[in-house]
Structure 1
Amino acid sequence: MSDRNVSRRRSNRLRARWAAVCAGLALALTGGLQGGAVAADTPEPPRPPGRLLAGPAALLGGAVHPEASPAGANDFSCRPTREHPRPVVLVHATWTNAFSNWSMLAPWLKEQGYCVFAPNYGGTPGSPFKANGPIPASARQIADYVDRVLKATGARQVDLVGHSQGGGVTPRWYLRFEGGTDPAHPKRNKVRRLIGLAPSNHGTTALGLGTLTTELGLNPAVSAVVGQAWPDQMVGSEVNQKLDRDGDTQPGVQYTVIATKLDEVVTPYTQQFLTAGPGASVRNITIQDVCPEDLSEHVSIAYDTNAAQLVRNALDPAHAKPVRCGLSLPVLGG
């Protein structure tokens, strides 16, 4: 019996040691993914919950339920607070929808105390592939939606956060041509901030494919299949020429661009950057300059917790917090 007791005690000690080692490894791995340890007496900045499969899961959910709102969004009874006086309107990318694009950012911003709204626009009801129509028509839909949000919430202005088309040409068209701003009286602007994740601000070559379809005169045929949003976002399109003719910005608006060097859709990625005109401010951010090991590309940046923290800081620069860099992978995010 004594030998059995000794053996049992040794086995228990061994299991305890392995448990401690595993716990230590898990803690080290978690700390590494979140950008290092934080002192116990230092409050950790709020950070969205990073899950590597969140993006693909949302894409599947948006395909099955294309008209669904992402969690935390589209509560028209929400009233802005003194800390967050402007509702946040999330504008999705081309060939996607609100649910698939914003299922990480919408609930997280809601938890931060924002009134969050996320429209579907630019596509056929019931189709998961939206924002494929003409840019001016999509901008008019965003204009109508912002007016609805302002009326419901009683707010004077909103902040726009958009991905790809939703952070680039469509909101810029709305600001310039569809009543989003009043250049003569910027205090009357309906939009205070425009924050773009991988925005298509100056068009794209689509890794050369867009250049090829343009030079071969194939854009009409391509748009018949994938929608007018394709040629409207090519470098040198009529939409881009008209938008850029009088400068990149509108007075009274604060612009933030969050780009990734690994972008494979809006190429070259420097096409995303803006130049501030009179009465506006611009901050162009390359995410690898903040988190050098960030591997997000065009699609996964909407599910990149590093980018989400930059969005939070751009929405509330007076209370900006250090970005706690974490693991973010191509396609998957994290």
Structure 2
Amino acid sequence: MNRAPTSHRRPRTLRRVLIAAAAGVAALATALTALPAAQAGESGGESGGEEAPRYEVGGLPDALGNFFLSPGAVEGANDWECEPSAEHPEPVVLVHATGVNLGANWAQISPTLANEGHCVYGFNYGMGLLSMFGRIGGLRDVASSAGTLDAFVDRVLEATGAEQVDLVGHSQGGMMPHYYIKRLGGAPLVDDFVAMVPSNHGTTLSGLTTIGETLGLLGLVNGFFDLAGLEGLRDQEVGSEFMEALFADGDTVPGVDYTVITTRNDAVVTPYTNSLLDGPDVTNIELQEQCPDNPVGHVGVAFDGPTVQNIVNALGADDPDFQPACEDFGPSL
């Protein structure tokens, strides 16, 4: 999936202004500005270091700026003139998590993959009444969000002339494509599906759904979700009708290669083992098995060196014995 990068970049001045303002919140600023870019994104891809990367790899401060100022665009993505190469014939489609957007979620991974030679694309989905003018995504019901993915994949395939895409998703973005693959006929159009801490099989949200059910409040909460256009939250609960139906016929379908990346420190998708898939052509990766000291949490995986390296491997060499460098860990968020 070698890509032909765009010839221009977005101005970053306003983003830096926002980051500087955010630095006034001392605790948050300390955590964010201390994070280096992942080593995987620092290389020049095929150039072997002879050329500078075409795209600047961001980190969590850039994600914060993008959340407000660039929710619909991110460095390295959506060059509609990109021509997939023989080495990387499938364009990569990025699927963001609940509560964020394209610009925020992929500040590090999008330019990293673009610099590796992939044609990279991304979109926003699940925007509702409480989406803060297109900034908070993944709120609407998962089935309708999968319909948005369906249409976007068709657009990418038409623009690039490719026969299939690779999907890279985070949290809900690593679960929602299952509906596209299994229920909307997407399986023949997907080669590799890489999911970071996906909400497969639902979440107890660190036990909150269990407490709510015990107290008889879960139905009331779900009723509010429906009224407020937050069906995507309801759909991701452990035992939800949506989740039970989605995986009733098994976790996977033939022809798609699945990679799941999890962290034992996940406090959002709980238990973290719910992320894992069972079936042929599945590679389940627990980050702490590779790097025992990795503190990364659910949000932080999008800015975690080993996670990014695993994604690059899954979409590139696909070495089953791959071992990432244990450095540039993401935050424990």
Q: TM-score, normalised by structure 2?
A: 0.77
Structure 1 contact 213–219 (Cα < 8 Å) conserved: no
Cα distance in 2 between the residues matched to 1:83 and 1:143: 25
Structure 1 residue 144, shift from structure 2 partner: 0.4
Per-residue CA deviation, residues 45-67 of structure 1 (Å, 9 max, x unaligned), is xxx9xx99921431232123322
Cα distance in 2 between the residues matched to 1:207 and 1:317: 36
- What is the SS of the residue equivalent to 1:211? helix
Q: Which residue of 2 aligns with 1:272?
A: 275
1:249 aligns with 2:252: yes
Cα distance in 1 between the residues matched to 2:58 and 2:165: 31
Cα distance in 2 between the residues matched to 1:210 and 1:52: 37
Question: 1:106-117, aligned counterparts within 5 Å?
Answer: 106-117=110-121
Per-residue CA deviation, residues 245-266 of structure 1 (Å, 9 max, x unaligned), is 1000011011010000000100
Structure 2 contact 57–112 (Cα < 8 Å) conserved: no
Structure 1 contact 139–171 (Cα < 8 Å) conserved: yes
Q: Which residue of 2 aligns with 1:103?
A: 107
Cα distance in 2 between the residues matched to 1:214 and 1:201: 20
Give, as a single letter, the amino acid of the residue that structure 2 aligns with 1:180. G
Question: 1:1-334, aligned counterparts within 5 Å?
Answer: 54-67=59-72, 69-124=73-128, 126-168=133-175, 170-181=176-187, 189-215=188-214, 216=217, 217=219, 218-225=221-228, 227-276=230-279, 280-318=280-318, 322-331=323-332
Q: TM-score, normalised by structure 1?
A: 0.77
Structure 2 contact 303–330 (Cα < 8 Å) conserved: no
Cα 1:214/1:100, change in 2 over 3 Å: farther
Corresponding pairs, count:
276
- What is the SS of the residue equivalent to 2:140? coil
Report which of the two has the higher share of helix: 1
- What is the SS of the residue equivalent to 1:118? strand
Structure 1 residue 305, shift from structure 2 partner: 1.3
Per-residue CA deviation, residues 48-91 of structure 1 (Å, 9 max, x unaligned), is 9xx99921431232123322x11000111101000100000010
Structure 1 residue 212, shift from structure 2 partner: 3.0
Structure 1 residue 225, shift from structure 2 partner: 4.4
Structure 2 contact 84–90 (Cα < 8 Å) conserved: yes
Structure 1 residue 325, shift from structure 2 partner: 1.4
Cα distance in 2 between the residues matched to 1:324 and 1:275: 27
Unmatched 5+ residue regions in structure 1? 1-32, 35-42, 182-188
Structure 1 residue 211, shift from structure 2 partner: 2.5
RMSD (CA atoms)? 2.4
Cα distance in 1 between the residues matched to 2:229 and 2:301: 22
- What is the SS of the residue equivalent to 1:206? coil
Cα 1:70/1:214, change in 2 over 3 Å: farther
Structure 1, 156-165 or 323-332: larger mean CA deviation: 323-332
- What is the SS of the residue equivalent to 1:176? helix
Cα distance in 2 between the residues matched to 1:297 and 1:143: 29
Give, as a single letter, the amino acid of the residue that structure 1 aligns with 2:183. F
Q: Compare CA radii of gyration and give the structure with the larger one.
A: 1
- What is the SS of the residue equivalent to 2:177? helix
Structure 1 residue 214, shift from structure 2 partner: 4.5
Cα distance in 2 between the residues matched to 1:302 and 1:226: 26
Structure 1 contact 223–229 (Cα < 8 Å) conserved: no
> Structure 1: which 4+ aligned runs deviate by more than 4 Å?
318-321
